[in-house]
Amino acid sequence: MKHHPPDSLLGPRVGLLLLLAFLLVPMSDPRVVGDARAQQSPSAKVYRIGFLSQGQPPKALIEALQQGLRERGYAEGQNLVWVFRSTDGSLDQLPRFAEELVSSKVDLILARASSGAMAAKRATTSIPIVFFAVYDPVEIGIVPSLSRPGGNVTGVAVTASDMAAKRVQLVKDLVPALKALRGIDGVLHADTPLFVTHRARLVNAVAESRLPAIYPARLYVEAGGLVSYGPNLAAVWKAAAPYVDKILKGSKAWRSSCRAANDVRVDDQQQDGQSHGPDNSAIVRDASGSDL
């Protein structure tokens, strides 16, 4: 007849066996486990975003775009790699840079302004393109309509229908004696990446001519310009982030419509609260006091 150990001895033996089994199992580093899970998760994929620009993009605007992406869970060094291509302000290199982005197999292309959007559109019909800071993209042929852009292109448009008239009125309010804005009595500046890249030189050249000028964005006022009226560019750049998010998540909703940026702002040296560049008050005095 087989004898069983007393119950008083069974408990310690079972406990000892469980302890030995636990010690013999290799301990897992929680960080390794986390990394493994992250690698298995779709959200852990590293995305490659191409950025195409005529001219070096201003740091503040790049930061606005990156902030919009961070708010949606995309950060450089974690799940995002930037592939930047920007010229010195000229147009000549844009087609080649667009083709380089296509060859590098980016997941999408962010195209700055109409020049970048046109170059990207010519380079690919398959990779999604998100344009931003493009004035009237329908009129220049980037998309057939804002409500139904179609194809592989969408983004954030700037409607400029009444901006020029408003800028003229602002300069006339500033300098009532002004008669003409044709580059003789006063200057209106178009918003192009080339001008943005060389804005400091441009502002200084206009100041040396002692002509009042109105600029299309706050960046020029920060460089010493007298006054600006135009879209809130930081908001425009940041508004591209939702399109990027939808594309990377595989949603088809990004094809449904383009966004029109309606947020405009007026900035001048007094609002800026700092003294930049030339003495604009002297320019205003000269223009007001001259026989125009």
For the record, the structure tokens of 212 come out as: 């009042």
Residues 173, 181: contact at Cβ < 8 Å? no
Q: What is residue 284's predicted lDDT score, i.e. its pLDDT?
A: 39
Task: Please state the rounded mean pLDDT for residues 215-222.
Answer: 85
Euclidean distance between CA atoms 132 and 136, whole angstroms = 11
Residues 244, 69: contact at Cβ < 8 Å? yes
Closest CA to 108 of 250, 239, 235: 250
Q: What is residue 188's predicted lDDT score, i.e. its pLDDT?
A: 58
Name beta bridge partners: 111.
52, 131
Q: In terms of pLDDT, which residue wins out, 33 or 118?
A: 118
Class for the domain spanning 43-160+232-264: alpha beta
Helix orientation angle between 59-70 and 241-248, rounded to the nearest 10 degrees:
40
Residue for token pair 């309606």: 262
For the record, the structure tokens of 66 come out as: 């990156």
What beta strand segments (E) does the chain contain?
47-53, 80-86, 108-112, 129-135, 153-158, 187-188, 213-215, 227-231, 259-261, 264-268
Residue for token pair 């931003």: 132
Summarised one tens digit per residue, pLDDT across range 39-52 is 334 457 999 999 99
Task: Please state the rounded mean pLDDT for residues 241-253.
Answer: 92
Q: What is residue 110's predicted lDDT score, i.e. its pLDDT?
A: 98
CA 127, 128, 130 angle in degrees (round to 5)?
A: 140
Q: What is residue 61's predicted lDDT score, i.e. its pLDDT?
A: 94
Residue for token pair 């920060």: 222
Q: In terms of pLDDT, which residue wins out, 264 or 112?
A: 112
CA 121, 199, 122 angle in degrees (round to 5)?
A: 5
For the record, the structure tokens of 209 come out as: 């001519």
Would you place residue 114 in the very low, low, confident or very high pLDDT band (cuts 50, 70, 90)?
A: very high
Q: Where are the domains of the chain?
A: 43-160+232-264, 163-230+267-289
Euclidean distance between CA atoms 211 and 283, whole angstroms = 6
Task: Please state the rounded mean pLDDT for residues 283-291.
Answer: 39
Task: Please state the rounded mean pLDDT for residues 91-102.
Answer: 96
Count of CB atoms situated within 10 Å of the CB of 25 = 7
Would you place residue 288 in the very low, low, confident or very high pLDDT band (cuts 50, 70, 90)?
A: very low
Summarised one tens digit per residue, pLDDT across range 145-189 is 999 998 999 999 987 667 878 887 887 787 777 666 655 455 655
Residues 217, 58: contact at Cβ < 8 Å? no
Which of 80-84, 215-219, 221-225 comes out lowest in average pLDDT?
A: 215-219
Q: What is residue 269's predicted lDDT score, i.e. its pLDDT?
A: 65
CA 292, 289, 282 angle in degrees (round to 5)?
A: 120
